[in-house]
Amino acid sequence: MLIDLQGQWEAAIDDGVPRPFAVPGTLDESGIGYPDVVREAKVKTADDDGSALVQGAGGTDTDGNAAAAWATRFTRRFTYEGPAVFSRSVDADGRIEPGDRVFLEIERARCLSLRVNGEAVAHTAVGGRDPGAGGTLSTPHVFEVTGLLGRTPGRADRIELIGDNSYPGLPYAGIIRSSAATDETQTNWNGLLGYVRLRTEPAAFVAAVRAYPKGDRLRVEVDVDAAEACAAARIRLTSPALKRQAEREVELEEGRRTVVFDRLPLRDDAARWDEGEGNLHELTVTLETAVRKTTTPNTAAPEPQSTPEPQSPPRPQSSKTIRFGIRDFGADAHGRLAINGRAFLLRGEANCAVFPETGHAPMDVPSWRRILETYRSYGVNVMRFHSWCPPDAAFEAADGMGMMMQPELSHWDYKEAFEGAESYAYYAAELEAVILALANHPSFVMLTLGNELACNETGHARMDALLARARALDTTRLYANGSNVHYGHIGCDAASDFYTAAKYHDGWLRATGSPMAGPLNGRYANAANDYAGTMAVLRASSVQPVFGFEVGQYEVLPDFGEIDAFHGVTDPANYRIIRDRVRAAGLDGERWRRRVEATGELALLCYREEVEAVMRTPSMSGLSLLGLQDFPGQGTALVGMLNAHLEPKPYDFARPERFRAFFRDRLPLALLPRYTYESGDVLAATVKVANYGRTPVGGPVRIELRGGGVRIADALPPVHCPAGALTDVGELRLPLAGVAADMPLRLDLTVSVGDAANTYPIWVYPRETADAGTGAAGAGSPYVHETRRFDAEARAVLAAGGTVYLSPPSTAEALPHSIQCQFSTDFWSVGTFPAQSGAMGQLIDAAHPLFRRFPTETHTNWQWWPMARRRAVVLPGDPEAFGSIVTELDSYAFLRPMTQLMECRCGGGRLLFSAFGLQDLAEYPEARALQAAIRAHLADRSFAPRAEVSPDAVAALVA
């Protein structure tokens, strides 16, 4: 029987004043605590050598460079760290029968202890194992209170639960950095969540049932808890998934005992649990125990000793029904992750426990079903829980959906993981508790010991011991010593079942990282990049499954419309600070919306390249993103297609179907060496089909190049692409003779086979000579003075009413007030990674007449790769006032007004200024095409700048 204790309690913090407290809930939700104080970070922009400074004070640094300030995370409306006493009176009269055993259960809390009528009560062992003095952050708290309630008739009992979110005696640093407790996301709440109840049981009862499928057999572990010894007991197992019922006679000792039923045959037609298929089965365990009868003494002729009669036949005493899924999860012969023997593509997302309204995770199944359905709408099939473990409701929802789950211990210690005795003891207890608590969830497929852990030899030896312990408890999951351990620098751990990291030693397993390193920004734009080189080195020493860690992290400028959605325990002070600075800069409204859209489109483009690069690497098992949802902390890392409330941002780039178009299990891949061509070239590329669905893909490979009145079609011979493999299906060759001979074209290349299709942007330009420009008057056109320096001759041309094309080298020396840009948006945030410039991609005036000869969208796309990586000059005012055509966007930490291409009236003439240094990019067809478009624009009547800029202001931009 369950006795619900939800409702009105009292809470007292360090001031000792009792206040009303709603259970379930937290101190924050009941308005108990103190004002939250969040420091404002001040970040100096990166110097040319990549160095940067995170400052603690405002204003400027000693060099006079401006430093930006903003709150680094949401604030809590109420905050408190330390012990809090949650108390209430309980009247147990008439609700607890004589002989009942009674347990107090709290589904989720912090470090928790109990007093009943002032008497301390210890945690009940879980599976016979001590959960530690305060329990764990990741599993329910259970206290046996048998005999402590209702001892005095007519008097209520006082229950006091002491929750402590300062974690005395526990590894505070590792816990407080983790997503389980950090104020950066979930908040370090204190309270009682989920069910808070009394549970009554008979003297002997089924305490837990764990079902472990393996192939066509089932292992079942039954924990029986007995208050006293019982010589005759029977345990019976029934399930429609079993070929036959199983039972066993056992002798129970006082305490808890685990009875194992091994190799129980499963029915051949019992449905298997799989990706996207939440097939579940029920298993009921019944415990029957004997009732001991005693002889009533004969008072007339007493016997020396009363002898009990033999025990009666066993009778039903306790039963428990669970649900489980039949599935196998592991690695195939090629070192790929496999479910039910089939290799699949891990399409993961890192959930960092961002719940801004409550400050904690929901505890109910419907809420979790909505959360997981949202992620699945973007193509996610595996949820990684970054340094935390969600409640049972999350796994129950995932079970029914066929969503795979990877929880982690509440552990983020990047220096001394497991080295301290308290750290090792606590995480050993948490590991065992999590594995036992989640045993029946088929969705629970992997677990790591924490996020980005690092330690010495002692810590690593303890990691190995913990992994061995995990396998001893449960062999149906995979375990690893951490996610991105030592940031990948020491490579794979031999004791781990899989490897997930950003790097393998110095080799990349994702496309970018701070300070804007990695293949996406470092290699010429193409659709052929993969991680085969890194994987070849890795495979020389390991056959573990490998998947990318925290892939993406492409910043998107914030949508301030979300501010009005905050009604709960957190306050978006950081968003308001950024919004107010945007308003002060005159960038709000539609101007800001265009900037958000441009960064979001570029981020989406970069995420696609991340995914397809992994799909082109057959030895990799997939990738785990970071992230689809905005992260409110760590410098305000707004990297998501989804906002902090887990809602798609109100922009086209955030529509789930656009992300799902490439984040999927099967996709044709054209391994394009480049995206840009010239008329007369041959567009040639190897074509492969990544098929990680359940069935083969087959048929002819259809190829079409279309756009601007052009249609070129071709087909490759019919192919058979088996499931779980990357198949080479041939090479496409499309001659571009006569295409874009006079005017450039933006085309779409579509490759399809069966019902799977993929489309790539292609740009074709008229063939141009590699004219670098001489710097002499008249270069490119008799009416244009083309120069690399704004010297006296350039001023004289302007004073005479002439036209100047100012194109200095794109260097820090030639452009002293400039920053180095990159193709992608900023990585995560400059607050966390200050050794990057903060550049956020381009906002392009696509309607400008210049772009009639250089097709473009308003955001950076692949044809801008060489130019996007050049420098941007910092202007003394609004880029629009300077006639900016290509505006470089900036992190909201700085909001510097910048341009890469601008035109203006100047000194009596007309001037076009480029920070691209196109004369030095002549090897790229797109750079030659842009140079030709600029020169044609300068010679055209459409060159009529509206902005007026003084010669001195222009001179200040260049050396």
Predicted TM-score (pTM) of this structure: 0.94
pLDDT, tens only, 873-918: 999 999 999 999 999 999 999 999 999 999 999 999 999 999 999 9
What is the spatial distance between Cα 798 and Cα 660, in angstroms, rounded to a whole number? 52
pLDDT, tens only, 516-544: 999 999 999 999 999 999 999 999 999 99
pLDDT at position 33 is: 97
- Does pLDDT of 858 surpass 90? yes
Give percent above pLDDT 90 in the chain.
Answer: 88
Q: In the predicted model, what is the mean pLDDT of residues 356-364?
A: 98
Who wins on pLDDT, 325 or 38? 325
Q: In the predicted model, what is the mean pLDDT of residues 43-51?
A: 43
Residue with tokens 């400028």: 557
HSE-CB at 832 with a 13 A cutoff on CA atoms is: 18
Q: In the predicted model, what is the mean pLDDT of residues 797-815?
A: 98
pLDDT at position 313 is: 57
Collapsed DSSP state (helix, strand, coil) of residue 225 = strand
Q: In the predicted model, what is the mean pLDDT of residues 655-661?
A: 98
Residue with tokens 């009778």: 315
Angle at 229 between CA 223 and CA 230, to 5 degrees: 85
- Average model confidence (pLDDT) for the chain? 92
Q: In the predicted model, what is the mean pLDDT of residues 764-780?
A: 62
pLDDT at position 44 is: 57
Q: In the predicted model, what is the mean pLDDT of residues 28-50?
A: 71
Q: Residue 579 in contact with residue 529, Cβ under 8 Å?
A: no
Residue with tokens 């308001």: 576
Q: What is the DSSP code (8-state) at residue 788?
A: S
pLDDT, tens only, 680-726: 999 999 999 999 999 999 999 999 999 999 999 999 999 999 999 99
Please, which residues bridge with residue 710 across strands? 707
- Does pLDDT of 336 surpass 70? yes
HSE-CB at 81 with a 13 A cutoff on CA atoms is: 13
**Burial (CB count within 10 angstroms: exposed 0-12, middle 13-18, buried 19+), residue 495:** middle
What is the spatial distance between Cα 550 and Cα 613, in angstroms, rounded to a whole number? 15
pLDDT, tens only, 458-505: 999 999 999 999 999 999 999 999 999 999 999 999 999 999 999 999
What is the spatial distance between Cα 62 and Cα 956, in angstroms, rounded to a whole number? 22
- State how far the alpha carbon of 737 is from the alpha carbons of 147, 243, 680, in Å: 91, 68, 4
HEC assignment per residue over 52-78: CEEECCCCECCCCCEEEEEECCCEECC
Dihedrals φ, ψ of 258, to 5°?
Answer: -105, 120
Residue with tokens 């809590």: 76
User: What beta strand segments (E) does 98-254 contain?
Assistant: 101-109, 111-116, 119-121, 141-144, 157-164, 191-201, 204-214, 217-226, 230-238, 246-252
pLDDT at position 97 is: 87
Q: What is the DSSP code (8-state) at residue 850?
A: G
What is the spatial distance between Cα 466 and Cα 417, in angstroms, rounded to a whole number? 12
Q: In the predicted model, what is the mean pLDDT of residues 258-267?
A: 97
Q: In the predicted model, what is the mean pLDDT of residues 669-678?
A: 98
What is the spatial distance between Cα 506 and Cα 101, in angstroms, rounded to a whole number? 58
Nearest Cα to Cα of residue 187 among 570, 573, 647: 570
Strands across the sheet with 884-890, in order? Answer: 784-787, 803-806, 909-914, 901-906, 884-890, 839-844
pLDDT at position 154 is: 82
Q: Are strands 546-552 and 622-626 parallel, antiparallel or unpaired?
A: parallel
pLDDT at position 98 is: 87
- State how far the alpha carbon of 510 is from the alpha carbons of 206, 283, 367, 530, in Å: 48, 43, 32, 9
pLDDT, tens only, 383-401: 999 999 999 999 999 999 9
Give 126's pLDDT tier (boundaries 50, 70, 90): low
HEC assignment per residue over 300-356: CCCCCCCCCCCCCCCEEEEEEEEEECCCCEEECCCCCEEECCEECCEEEEEECCCCC
pLDDT, tens only, 702-714: 999 999 999 999 9
Q: Residue 189 in contact with residue 357, Cβ under 8 Å?
A: no
Q: Which two tokens stand for residue 253?
A: 């000792």
What is the spatial distance between Cα 295 and Cα 898, in angstroms, rounded to a whole number? 97
What is the spatial distance between Cα 616 and Cα 611, in angstroms, rounded to a whole number? 9
Express the helix, strand and coil content of the chain in percent, nearest 5 each: 20, 35, 45
Q: In the predicted model, what is the mean pLDDT of residues 427-431?
A: 97
Nearest Cα to Cα of residue 699 among 742, 735, 668, 654: 668
